[in-house]
Amino acid sequence: MLKSPLHPRLGDLVAALLDDVLNQGMPLDRAYSRRFSGLSLKPFEQARVALVTGDLLRRLNLYCALAGIQVRQAGKMGWPLLLAWHAFHRIAMPNHRSLDRFKEETFRFRLQDAKKSPALMDGCPTWLDKLGTDQLGDAWPRERAALSEMPRRFVRVNTLKGDKAALLAQFKKEGVEAIEVEGVDTALEITSDAALFKTKAFKDGLFEQQDAGSQKVAAALAVEPGMRVIDACAGAGGKTLHIAAAMQGKGRLIAMDVEQWKLDNLKERARRAGAHNVETRLIEDSKTIKRLKESADRVLLDVPCSGLGVLKRNPDTKWKDTAERLAPLVALQAEILESYSRMVKVGGILVYATCSILPMENRAQIDAFLAKNDRFRLIEDESISPAETGFDGFYLARLERIA
């Protein structure tokens, strides 16, 4: 957390980011890209802006309550929120004209009132608190608190270009502090505010930024060199590149998605990573899937989901129409699982995964699928808990096709 007040110039940037996300509906990562582009910010300044913006969005309803404004107004009320943020963290106030309207006594009264609601202190909207309680019961308060924390920074060692020791040595040369992560062989945690994407290590493709929990998903495929593997919901391709590295670049890896721009970005990332066995394929209609029937040794279905396991990294999700989208998403997950599972050979492995911690998107989907499909058996499944691990929240299930 900051020890000195945010410079007004950086505060204006935070306010602009809040407007982008809350009023313009822009994803947070895209808002960062837009606002940081062309600015000559020092790495520590960029880190400060991201820290404050992220925390404001993770607990937006709390800071709104402390500032005396409605959540729907937040996108246009950046500076009142920033003053409430400074007061909450007991940081000296920035020198800004809006300070004239800040009343310390009023703030303290609002804070005492907010402390009566643990969900509000965790930045949890009412709809999410009800959903989390219904789905997770007594486990929800711990998960809710964990999802309000600042995310840790993890990278995955690209074993196509080196090993963990070599990457640690290169990081040390470039002033990047990193430590190993217990239980995840390919992961390192970054413990400094280094500008990772400006390092030579990044430009040389020695690593990819990827949460440690996410790295466990691709590892569950247990791929081997020479296999035919399909990543059927590849998206930006983080797990695709992990699979390619595990295959040692040997065999055929088909990365599929319904959006061409994501596949185009994946091609660029694959070139930098040296993942030359990646083939991209746009899913244009159901025929694309049918042509691959019983063709793959391994299939990864990292299905579209609520994203409620990665709220600390994508906190803007809390303030969008996630509740309304949930039922259609659950139906889509079941449809994908039923249709895309046909690509697995007999004896092959299917991994179903989400970045959600809700049973309705996770084990309930697997149980429903297996109840209708005796062609598969469940080998194992795992729920990756933010509260227990400090990672993002994920679910994965390994299924074997037996007929």
57-78: pLDDT as tens digits: 999 999 999 999 999 999 999 9
64, 124, 305, 355: which is the annotated catalytic residue? 355
Structural contact between residues 273 and 205, judged by C-beta atoms closer than 8 angstroms: yes
279 pairs with which residues across the strands? 254
User: What is the reported pLDDT for 43?
Assistant: 82
pLDDT band at 194 (very low <50, low <70, confident <90, very high): confident
Closest CA to 281 of 252, 302, 305: 252
User: What is the reported pLDDT for 139?
Assistant: 98
Structural contact between residues 318 and 125, judged by C-beta atoms closer than 8 angstroms: yes
Please give the C-alpha separations between residue 345 and each of 9, 59, 92, 131, 167, in angstroms, as whole numbers: 58, 46, 62, 37, 37
Cα separation, 224 vs 207, in Å, equals: 21
pLDDT band at 44 (very low <50, low <70, confident <90, very high): confident
352-403 tens-digit pLDDT: 999 999 999 999 999 999 999 999 999 999 999 999 999 999 999 999 999 9
pLDDT band at 322 (very low <50, low <70, confident <90, very high): confident
Radius of gyration of the chain (CA): 22
Is it the case that residue 342 has pLDDT exceeding 90? yes
User: What is the reported pLDDT for 38?
Assistant: 81
- The tally of CA atoms less than 13 A away on the side-chain side of residue 115 is 7
CA 326 to chain centre: 17
User: What is the reported pLDDT for 42?
Assistant: 86
User: What is the reported pLDDT for 324?
Assistant: 87
Question: Which residue has tokens 């390919």?
Answer: 186
φ, ψ at 32 (rounded to 5°) = -60, -50
Is it the case that residue 1 has pLDDT exceeding 80? no
Cα separation, 255 vs 239, in Å, equals: 10
pLDDT band at 3 (very low <50, low <70, confident <90, very high): confident
Q: What is the mean pLDDT of the chain?
A: 95
CA 217 to chain centre: 13
Is it the case that residue 2 has pLDDT exceeding 80? no
Cα separation, 381 vs 216, in Å, equals: 12
Is 233 annotated in the active site?
A: no
- C-alpha angle 226/232/237, rounded to 5°? 80
Helix (H) / strand (E) containing 120? helix 118-121
User: What is the reported pLDDT for 236?
Assistant: 87
User: What is the reported pLDDT for 107?
Assistant: 97
